Structure 1
Amino acid sequence: MLRTRQPTRILGVDDVDDALDLCARDPAAHVFVASRILDGGLGYGSTAAHGWFSQGRLEAFVWTLANVVPVGTDVVSWGPLAAQVHKVRRRCASFLGPREEVLGLWSETGTTFPNPRSLRSEQPLMATRTPPSRLGFAIDERVRRATLDEVDLVLPAAEHMFTHEIGYRPYTGSVAFYRDSIRRLIVQGRTYVVIEGRRVVFKADIGSVALDTCQIQGVWLAPELRGQGLAAGFMASVVEQAMADHAPLATLYVNDFNVAAMATYERIGMERVGTFATILF
């Protein structure tokens, strides 16, 4: 769309198709942003994304809400977009996305941000289009969608996973907003659980769905059950159901130091298709 000569500007509703086209170049890497756009993230008055234009065409952009996520950026656009990212530094909790883009944008922006609490520069991005059952993998039938009356059973597992992964609790003060985020996922059929004795012992969420792709996140197994060979069957079932319920390409990204998790994902047929980086503040 030839509508501006400005090198950067906030994206709006007229840019939705162009932004989704950029995401579609690598849906496994950009399903998070694409899903937020489809949820209305570029609605009227939104300041969720800043685009970089060349000859009037959108060539790259950065999602700039709580998470700064680059899409289609390169060395030419990092500098101009960094000036926009600088403006949202007070509300930014993390940078995340394709490693080269995250680290490149950070190199242009980092001096204006607080020192990060953690820089995870090697996070394998994994994906599969093959249901694990086709590979002869046994599916654990105990894994199912959580129901609305189980929100308060899922909450402790979700809180434990978040705190262990990120390093602080997912909320301060009232739990109401965090509980509502869990409820929304359950209403959408995006939380899968194993429940034993009115306690969640395994859970995984489908955090994003777009472009025939779904992204699995929030994977958690009760600590006392780890190392018993349960994770592969549980995850195989999640992947199988996610592909049937949400999208044919299932993806996730994992920290490189989580060797056991990577082995589990590879065992059920997921392959590495890229590398992410995350910078946490």
Structure 2
Amino acid sequence: MRAGPGAGRLLGQDDLPRALAVCGRDPVASVLATTRLEQAAAVGLNRVGGLLWGYEVDGELLAVCWAGANVVPVVPDPAVREDALDAFAAFGRALGRRCSSVVGDAPSVLGLWDRLAPSWGAVREIRADQPSMVLDHEPSVAADPAVRRSTPEEYPIVLPACVRMFTEEVGYSPVVGSGGAYEARVRSLVREGRSFVRVEDGPAGPRVVFKAELGAVAGGVAQVQGVWVDPERRGERLSEAGMAAVVTATRRDVAGTVSLYANGYNERALAAYRAVGFRQVGTYATVLF
């Protein structure tokens, strides 16, 4: 049943408290958008590098969509989903595609893409089934004592591991030249204590054999991204113990709820996360351009 009639509008700085309240109805599903909105609340919406669309019924804000490098729709109430996505798609068609992905709660992402596909054109890949998982208690396996936060001095070995992970996952290298956006992002995560690594000595010197980052932290949720094990060390259960260490440190220092999402076909990774204690609470989807 559709709730309408409602209307979409471009939101501004004064709308941020209400937009954050919408995201707060499902903190795990909305953490990517909440991260941007909390940044906007701190430094100003105009400085965060994106637009915020809203959907209202009788003056009540019921859904929002962050439109920056990634488009992230947040529609907590299924009763207004169709009308809210119609409104967001109208914004998207008017502006044209400026993002690298549409990502978030699967029904909203896939519904929005159905509306935008005729005008936004071809995609590189649609990942429609990405289990969204959380862990809000102590891990079920022992933490790897060698996994710790990386240091700025280790950036020269952290960056190559991040590039290898990204290339394996997405299919192309994120590095476009020295000092690019990806490199800046990795530096920022290291500097902010959101990069975790296990470093071992190798024939060519120290190397990262396990890594993970807290890619989004907002609304009491920390989302783990970029989990990677060196191919030469896979099959040794480094991911289970490594993730247990990441979860323990994150719940102690950052947020009580740790989340992540993974591709549904990656059963090995999903089994590892379940072994650590993660449980599925929803499904994400990603449209990659």
Aligned 8 A contact 2:135 2:278 in 1: yes
Could you tell me how far 1:87 is from its partner in structure 2?
3.6
**Counterpart in the other structure of 2:55:** 52
**Counterpart in the other structure of 1:32:** 32
Q: Does the C-alpha gap of structure 1 residues 47 and 221 become closer, same or farther in structure 2, counting only changes over 3 Å?
A: closer
1:180 aligns with 2:196: no
Q: Does the C-alpha gap of structure 1 residues 87 and 224 become closer, same or farther in structure 2, counting only changes over 3 Å?
A: farther
Q: Which whole-Å CA distance do the structure 1 matches of 2:96 and 2:243 have between them?
A: 36
Q: Which whole-Å CA distance do the structure 2 matches of 1:124 and 1:89 have between them?
A: 29
Per-residue CA distance 1:141-179 (angstroms, 9 max, x = gap): 000000111111100010111111111111323344322
Q: Secondary structure at the match of 1:91?
A: coil
1:71 to 62, 71, 74: 74
CA-based RMSD of the aligned residues comes to 1.7
Q: Which whole-Å CA distance do the structure 1 matches of 2:158 and 2:177 have between them?
A: 19
Q: Secondary structure at the match of 2:45?
A: coil
Q: Which whole-Å CA distance do the structure 2 matches of 1:81 and 1:70 have between them?
A: 8
Q: Percent identity?
A: 40
Output aligned runs, 1:169-248, within 5 Å: 169-197=173-201, 198-248=206-256
1:101 to 84, 97, 108: 108
Could you tell me how far 1:97 is from its partner in structure 2?
0.7
**Counterpart in the other structure of 2:261:** 253
Q: Secondary structure at the match of 1:29?
A: coil
Amino acid at match of 1:123: Q
Aligned 8 A contact 1:65 1:88 in 2: no
Q: Which whole-Å CA distance do the structure 2 matches of 1:33 and 1:52 have between them?
A: 15
Q: Which whole-Å CA distance do the structure 1 matches of 2:194 and 2:56 have between them?
A: 35
Per-residue CA distance 1:239-266 (angstroms, 9 max, x = gap): 1111112100000000011111000000
Amino acid at match of 2:150: A
1:115 aligns with 2:122: yes
Q: Which whole-Å CA distance do the structure 2 matches of 1:68 and 1:89 have between them?
A: 12
Could you tell me how far 1:89 is from its partner in structure 2?
3.4
Q: TM-score, normalised by structure 1?
A: 0.93
Could you tell me how far 1:88 is from its partner in structure 2?
4.2
Q: Which whole-Å CA distance do the structure 2 matches of 1:62 and 1:244 have between them?
A: 31
> Number of aligned pairs?
274
Q: Which whole-Å CA distance do the structure 2 matches of 1:275 and 1:6 have between them?
A: 27
**Counterpart in the other structure of 2:285:** 277
Q: Which whole-Å CA distance do the structure 2 matches of 1:68 and 1:263 have between them?
A: 29
Could you tell me how far 1:59 is from its partner in structure 2?
1.3
Aligned 8 A contact 1:191 1:206 in 2: yes
Q: Which whole-Å CA distance do the structure 2 matches of 1:90 and 1:126 have between them?
A: 29
Amino acid at match of 1:58: L
Q: Secondary structure at the match of 2:164?
A: helix
Q: TM-score, normalised by structure 2?
A: 0.90
Could you tell me how far 1:235 is from its partner in structure 2?
1.0
Q: Does the C-alpha gap of structure 1 residues 171 and 9 become closer, same or farther in structure 2, counting only changes over 3 Å?
A: farther
Could you tell me how far 1:86 is from its partner in structure 2?
2.1
Amino acid at match of 2:219: L
Q: Which whole-Å CA distance do the structure 2 matches of 1:155 and 1:180 have between them?
A: 10
1:265 aligns with 2:285: no
Aligned 8 A contact 1:185 1:205 in 2: yes
Q: Which whole-Å CA distance do the structure 2 matches of 1:122 and 1:176 have between them?
A: 31
Aligned 8 A contact 1:98 1:274 in 2: yes
Aligned 8 A contact 2:6 2:83 in 1: no
